[in-house]
Structure 1
């Protein structure tokens, strides 16, 4: 069987997807892929002006895009963004949590908590995908040094409590990717 374009078999048609912190390289990439798959995309960042170019690019490709200003560590901001998305696009079907919250954000203020309550109350549930940030630069690759295992534990706990409400919870561990600063760091460390 010949290999086909994976984008052809991946359809988000009719879905509303909220990409948190879409101003980052990874967040923007998720927004592009999801928009190309046919979803209506809400893109959020602390300063919505950071999203102007991304939104314009997506609209040129025919996507329905909404930008929202969002401080992902402030419950009032999260709820206001969620209300705007619901009013303009409808219920959120998928949350791409790319926010990299600080370790000490209270769970009740956490963007995932606010969104999962919304999904639990909808008839069709939804999906929450948390993006674990890439590991920081360390001299020797060591999986035991991953700082974000708390995200994985939180996601496992949420999976147990949200499955009866038809809300799926996943974690994607992001790799380092092609990062110019990391290349420069490697170059300078090899010279010493």
Structure 2
């Protein structure tokens, strides 16, 4: 499991108040990462941060409004001051369509990673789609987030920054643990050669 270790990495979880955000924060913390929890209303993250610290994690809460670039830049500066540059962004902000269409979190964090010259990984989380007639999630029309991710993956390759998507399905037959393997693959060194990918997880119980 060593390639999947997050030890020595700094992870920023955008919109960590969501069920997915909290799950991914705990997962990466347990894998050894320093975790920055971001949300528009930071007070909502106090219990999650306390839980992660009790489990032995290094945690920072930052105010982060995914729709406002100044807020994102201030959050990145706060993480830089406490933990160093961000190595991994877990971006849950696509639940708001206007944010997905003009994703400030991804752009600001990619610039932060370029300046740090350490490479990095951006994992965009595509929320479950509205009910569709096709049973196969791979048949869904590519969203603006997926199209943006593929374009950015290509443009950021020279900077050793990977951009991938986890597209969660609608089924409730399994738990959030179904997302653990895909997330750790894309966030850790185990997925060092993976970029521009969209992993469709149809069994995630969201």
Q: Of 10, 14, 18, which residue of structure 1 is paired with 2:8?
A: 14
- Whether the aligned pair in 2 keeps the contact of 1:42 and 1:85 (CA below 8 Å) is yes
Aligned ranges 1:1-192 → 2 under 5 Å: 10-100=4-94, 102-105=96-99, 107=102, 110-138=104-132, 141=135, 143=137, 146=140, 149-176=143-170, 178=172
- Whether the aligned pair in 2 keeps the contact of 1:120 and 1:165 (CA below 8 Å) is yes
Q: TM-score, normalised by structure 2?
A: 0.76
**Structure 1 unmatched runs, 5+:** 1-5, 180-192
Q: Work out which structure has the larger RCO, using CA pairs closer than 8 Å and 6 or more positions apart in sequence.
A: 2
CA RMSD of aligned residues (A): 2.2
- Runs of 4 or more off by more than 6 Å in structure 1? none
Larger Rg: 1
Q: Partner of 1:100: helix, strand, or coil?
A: helix
**Structure 2 unmatched runs, 5+:** 174-206
Q: CA deviation at 1:124?
A: 1.3
Q: TM-score, normalised by structure 1?
A: 0.81
- Whether the aligned pair in 2 keeps the contact of 1:73 and 1:101 (CA below 8 Å) is no
